[in-house]
Amino acid sequence: MDDQTLTTTGLAPQGDGRILLLACGALAREILDLIKINSWSHMDLHCLPAILHVHPEKIPDAVEQAVLKHRDAYAQVFVVYADCGTGGLLAKKCADLGVDMVEGPHCYSFFEGNAEFAKKDEVFSFFLTDFLVRQFDAFVVKPLGLDRHPELRDMYFGNYKSLVYQAQTDDPALTALAQQHAKRLGLAFERRLTGYGDLATTLEALK
């Protein structure tokens, strides 16, 4: 679902009030679920590659290119990224472009709820979402070289105490898989059924 537009009802003229959700590919499944559940027929989804998170410095320019490419066809473009490791550069880019974005430092925060997440001191926790549980090898193991050098595990994860699985869906198979990932990393396991958190309320507020 990366780097493509997923149209829910068919492209309508700008004056028809359509909204383009310009999102991280890691959120595609959740956004499509919310669109379906809420019958948001005025929204389309365009995803950028989730692998951009490996190089977050590339996210602002990728978002800018997509906004400039698509904005004339829509009444509104909304960026479904949090800061995501860009150090404020994405927020500045969105401000320059005149588009809004999801609040929060990262998706772990807005899935938990930004206010709730801010209350917690979890610097020793490593987080996974549904997407990252499914794509653990592609987004954790291979980028860190653990498939080639498993001895590096403790260097990367030795200071963590737990793996926190923020579950968007109540899926026993994903929970079991997340537990396997925690064991592989040598971390205690915790599961939290967060649902869609602030992502749902943010998209609900779009007009």
Query: Residue 16: CB partners within 8 Å, gap ≥ 6?
Result: 42, 75
Per-residue CA distances from 18 to 6, 74, 139, 169, 192 (Å): 13, 5, 33, 28, 34
Domain that holds residue 65: 4-102
**Residue at a domain's end among 102, 121, 143:** 102
**Residue at a domain's end among 102, 118, 151:** 102
Same domain, 120 and 149: yes
Tens of each residue's pLDDT in the chain, 207 residues:
444 544 444 444 444 789 999 999 999 999 999 999 999 999 999 999 999 999 999 999 999 999 999 999 999 999 999 999 999 999 999 999 999 999 999 999 999 999 999 998 899 999 999 999 999 999 999 999 999 999 999 999 999 999 999 999 999 999 999 999 999 999 999 999 999 999 999 999 997
Q: For residue 179, is it within any domain?
A: yes
Could you report the per-residue pLDDT of 36-60, keeping only the tens digit for each? 999 999 999 999 999 999 999 999 9
Q: What is the pTM of this model?
A: 0.89
Nearest to 126 by CA among 53, 188, 55: 188
Distance CA 25, CA 119 (A): 28
Q: For residue 204, is it within any domain?
A: no
**Residue at a domain's end among 102, 119, 149:** 102
